[in-house]
Amino acid sequence: MPKIAMIGAGSVVFTKNLITDILLFPELQESEIHLMDIDEDRLNTAYGLTKRIIQKLGIKTKVYATLDRKEALKDASYVINTIQVGGHEATIVDFDIPERYGLRQTIADTHGIGGIFRALRTIPVLLDIIEDMQKLCPEALLINYSNPMAMNVWAVYEASPIKVVGLCHSIQGTAGQLARYIGVPYEKLRYRAAGINHMNWFLELEVDGKDAYPALRKAMENPEIYQKDPVRFEIMKLFGYFVSESSEHMAEYVPYFIPHEEKIKQLNIPIRELIRRDRMGDEIYKYYRRIAKGERLPEIDEEKIMQMNPSTPGIREYINRLQKEIREYNQRLAEGKNPLPPLKRSPEYASKIIHSIETGHRRCIHGNVKNSGLITNLPHGCCVEVPCMVDKNGIQPTYVGELPPQLAALNRTQINVQELAVRAVLERKKEYVYYAALLDPLAKAVLRSDEIIAMVDELFEAHKRYLGYFD
């Protein structure tokens, strides 16, 4: 059975979901799971939760926790990466400094100025990880969840022969939303999607063999539905296709919305959304930390979380689910039963990939991989997100061909920035960071070139503890 190493396991909620997914497959229950993080407190919480999951399932999976990355990686078959270099403090800097220059962002973790500097912090650590992998587990598959997805994966395959795939839940998540918008069961929706991470396009939408785009355009006319996804519906009006990532993400990838105050209000664009999510994540972490210790839990403070994250789609449903889990948890605790919320499979692909490779069960996933002619009108070698088949032979990306030219053109506005940021790190060329920032669609729509340069100077100074490799 495989050894699965989870690097950055202190992302407790995400780790809990991934481990639950893995262990709900009977064929993977004899795996060895090795959790690694640099934060001992969070690592211990993840370890405690994992042991409770194993206990609840009544299985004998071996789980280990370590602060030593090399120990976790030794002889691993799969390496799941979820690191966030710099944490919440660095993220705040990525928002605050651009804001002082007049550049507002919503998420700032994938594209744009925030995405560039997150890449500059993250890629060097990834390079250290893959260097260790080449010595300790050269045949392992690296499954990357860390953002900025495309830049991270691009850097890995440029720098080493390690097998890598980047995973995101936006395709399957958006497909579920689209099914709800047009009022059909998710299982009846057939789709074909391709592009780049967080700017992937639903090229085909079908229900019972018929084009579902007319139904989606009709649904968009319903104000209640439109308000759930205003930016993405506006993009569909402009370019003809629905995009994979959320409205709050997409708002900062193009120059049409955030530079205009009236558009921010009209489309309810949540500036600094990621900061609110991080604060909410801390509240949820406290909840799981107490579960790991087997404590009785207080009710979630609904209003506090709503104030942190008022615009996130489905937030009320999420809070209601948490409240229900807490009540059930406390009831089981009172009855002397195993105190853990119900175990449910998440939409993430990682466990399915591992299961397919180990058992030969064939599946289709959407993965971020090297563009080796898969999308013919995007640059060769860039990182694309395409349908991939998975079985005992591993991950096999599928050929897409040409995207509609307007969609490829939009993708290239981000690919240009990604390439320069990746080259900046791999070639240690600081000037490439400035070129990347000057080409960012949102930054150049808001700021003069001299302002962009001054902003980048200030970001370099603020993040210098992570960026010393440029000196």
Catalytic residues: 169
- Only one residue has tokens 């928002």, namely 95
Tokens of 377: 């009108």
34 assigned binding-site residue:
no
Residues contacting residue 138 through CB under 8 Å, at least 6 positions apart: 161, 162
Please give the DSSP secondary-structure letter assigned to residue 401.
Answer: B
Tokens of 175: 């497909």
Residues contacting residue 331 through CB under 8 Å, at least 6 positions apart: none
Residues contacting residue 274 through CB under 8 Å, at least 6 positions apart: 91, 95, 106, 107, 108, 109
168 assigned binding-site residue:
yes
249 assigned binding-site residue:
no
> Which of 177, 193, 140 has its CA nearest to residue 364?
193
In terms of DSSP bridges, do strands 383-391 and 394-397 run parallel, antiparallel, or are they unpaired?
A: antiparallel
Rounded to an integer, what distance in angstroms lies between the CA atom of residue 302 and that of residue 334?
24
Kindly state the helix (H) or strand (E) to which residue 192 belongs, with its residue range.
strand 189-196
> Which of 450, 454, 456 has its CA nearest to residue 436?
456
Peptide bond into 148 cis (omega under 30): yes
Count CB atoms within 10 A of the CB of residue 321.
14
- Which residues are annotated binding-site positions for Mn(2+)? 168, 198
- Which residues are annotated binding-site positions? 147, 168, 198
- Which residues are annotated binding-site positions for substrate? 147
